[in-house]
Amino acid sequence: MKKRINGSIRPRPNAENVQYYDITLELGTDPATGKRKRMYFKVNTTDREEAENELMIKKAEYLQEKLLEPSKETVAEFLERFLEDTRRNLSPATTRDYKGMIERYIEPLFGHMRVQELTRAKVQQVYNGLRKKSNRSNNPLSASTIKHIDRILKCALNVAVDEGIIKENPVRKIKIGKDIRSEHLEVYTVEEIRALEKAVRGTDMELPVALLFDCVMRRGELLGLRYSDIDFDKKEVTIQHAWTETETNEPVLKDCKTESSYRKLIVSDHTINLLRRQRTIYMRNRMKYGEKFCNSNHVICKKNGEPYRPKSFTRKWAKTLKNNGLRHIKLHGTRHSAISLLLSEGVPIQIAQQRAGHQDPKITLSVYSHVSKDKESLVADTLEEVLFSAVGE
């Protein structure tokens, strides 16, 4: 059946004082209800000819089935739906991350706008402003943070495209720029690692430090390690879970994020002996606390068996460094340090990649292409001995 469409334009608020035009499309009668079907559009122009042209465009789009039905849904309302719909497909940590970024940045900056009003120019303008001053402080946002905001907004608006709310994603081809990278990663030298190991010897931080460096663990992997993941006879540790926080800040045990994160590692005699000792302590505390004991089966836990909350363990790490007068680096910096040490000692990149649980060796090289200061002189001495000493002969 051939589609029929009529339309009209109307000056607003009136013909003597035109500020914009309303477009009305007459789409016939709804067979289900018998009522007339109409679509209304606002055209921000005072030029009647321009409004007439827009009417013709709307008619053509309708006949080609490309016309978007007007929607008053705001970005804030849409994002609420988006989070609810995608929650089932995201990990608890990712959901918490999305929710936090939306509440802190996206909703305050874009939430009041209608989804159909978002344009690439408006988004670019907001991003440019964030590079000068954050909406939450007087400090500028880093390019990496803005890129994170951009990824989440782009993901959400892709859904809006799929739902037919907008024709194309306005966040495409946005320019953000780059941060000036630091010349070095935040890592410990070999001497600092030894000082750390000496400082925690005999304390409840000795085993966590050993595992962080031996297994190149992430915080969630460390706190998610259970005794069932350890083969004491083979000296093998299986990393297959992560202890992370949900959007309500409740910790939960989840599977590793990627296939490469799942890994079986042979550990040193020192680490396996510490694990045996910790298992004995765990069983002793289980008998001591009785019914009050939380039989979590977590290796890294409190005396009563209760697992640490991730943020709580990060504070414990910072306190350990401060109490022992050690230079502060982030807990994740132990991964940087461990892989930098492996690479500087000549361990093949593929082995370092597998131990870190990276999907691609390029990630290992791009993030950890750092030579510790205590190794720079070794490189210079090697070149002197192999190449330059022969020049004077």
Mind listing the pLDDT tens digit for each residue in 138-193? 899 999 899 999 999 999 999 999 988 898 999 988 989 877 655 456 888 889 99
CB 213 within 8 A of CB 267: no
Give the domains, in start order, of the chain with CATH numbers.
6-63 (no CATH), 91-162 (no CATH), 190-375 (1.10.443.10)
Residues 6+ apart with CB under 8 A from 319: none
- Comparing 78-87, 328-337, 361-370, 381-390, the range with the smallest average pLDDT is 381-390
Confidence of residue 371 (pLDDT cuts 50, 70, 90): very low
- Comparing 63-67, 108-112, 115-119, 352-356, the range with the smallest average pLDDT is 63-67
- pLDDT for position 18: 92
The string of pLDDT tens digits covering residues 238-260 is 999 999 887 777 888 888 878 88
Q: At 278, list the tokens.
A: 């910790």
Cα 330 to chain centroid distance, Å, stands at 17
The H-assigned helical ranges of 5-119 are 48-63, 75-86, 92-101, 107-110
Q: What percent of the chain lies above the pLDDT cut of 90?
A: 57
pLDDT at residue 379 is higher than 50: no
* Residue environment code for 321-346, b if the CB has 16+ CB neighbours within 10 A, otherwise e: beeeeeeebebebbbbbbbbbbbbee
pLDDT at residue 290 is higher than 70: yes
pLDDT at residue 120 is higher than 70: yes
Q: Give the Cα separation of 270 and 274 in Å (integer).
A: 6
Label each residue of 327-365 as H, E or C: CCCCCCHHHHHHHHHHHHCCCCHHHHHHHHCCCCHHHHH
More confident residue, 138 or 361: 138
User: Inter-axis angle of helices 349-356 and 361-368, to 10 degrees?
Assistant: 90
CB count within 10 Å of CB 216 equals 26
Number of residues in the chain = 393
Long-range contacts, 349-355 (Cβ 8 Å, 24+): 352/216, 354/260, 354/263, 355/215, 355/216, 355/263, 355/265
Q: Give the Cα separation of 297 and 228 in Å (integer).
A: 8
Q: Give the Cα separation of 84 and 105 in Å (integer).
A: 18
- pLDDT for position 173: 84
Confidence of residue 345 (pLDDT cuts 50, 70, 90): confident
Residue 217's Cβ-side half-sphere holds a number of Cα atoms within 13 Å equal to: 27
pLDDT at residue 110 is higher than 90: yes
Which 3 state secondary structure label does DSSP give 18? strand
- Comparing 128-137, 190-199, 205-214, 355-364, the range with the smallest average pLDDT is 355-364
Does the model's pTM come out above 0.75?
no
Residues 6+ apart with CB under 8 A from 44: 20
